[in-house]
Amino acid sequence: MSDIDMTPSIVLVLAIGVLFAAGVYLLLERSLTRVLLGFILMGNGANLLFLVAGGRAGGAPLVGTTPEDEMSDPLVQAMVLTAIVITLGFTAFVLAMAYRSWQLHGHDEVQDDLEDRRVARQAARNTPAFEDLDTEESGQTLDDEAAQVRDETDGDGDGVTDRRLDDEGSR
């Protein structure tokens, strides 16, 4: 085998880069549909990467049908099949989550965690524990920014989490 046979096509390498870049971009969105599309793109990029990294195509990896030095690597094919199954399983899981979110809320966006908001409100009450390097840009510390976070659990704005009535109407 010469070195020319082992060099991957620049088009395939660019395609892998584009698939991974677009996949990462979509994974950072709040919509579950976009997250799903990003994961699928990254899965396809990983499959293509496995195939490019596996080397040139060869004969069937069966002893006796092809000389050993001309066989293709069966490990790459097994890894791609495994990656396809994992991507399919994750796709089904995220589709189920997006469908359930659509049923419950009418959209598939992931909302902020309420516990994160409580932590941010509590941090705003405490004194600053460290220097914030971003204060020169906005003039606000992290504690000032955390104090401005709207908390859905504090309906009247008094800084105390409101208690909700349970199904029987008691507190």
Q: Answer yes or no: is pLDDT of 2 > 60.
A: no
pLDDT of res. 160: 66
Handedness of CA 32, 38, 42, 47 (dihedral sign): positive
pLDDT digits (tens, 9 = 90+) for 10-68: 999 999 999 999 999 999 988 889 999 999 999 999 999 998 888 777 787 777 788 87
Convert the pLDDT of each residue in 103-159 to its tens digit. 888 888 887 777 877 887 777 776 555 555 655 666 666 666 666 666 666 667 666
Cβ atoms < 10 Å from Cβ of 47: 19
pLDDT of residue 51: 87
* Contact partners, residue 155, CB within 8 Å, separation at least 6: 162
Q: Is the pTM of this model over 0.75?
A: no
Which tokens hold the place of 111?
């909302």
Q: How far, rounded to the nearest angstrom, does the alpha carbon of residue 35 sit from its chain's CA centroid?
A: 6
Confidence of residue 96 (pLDDT cuts 50, 70, 90): very high
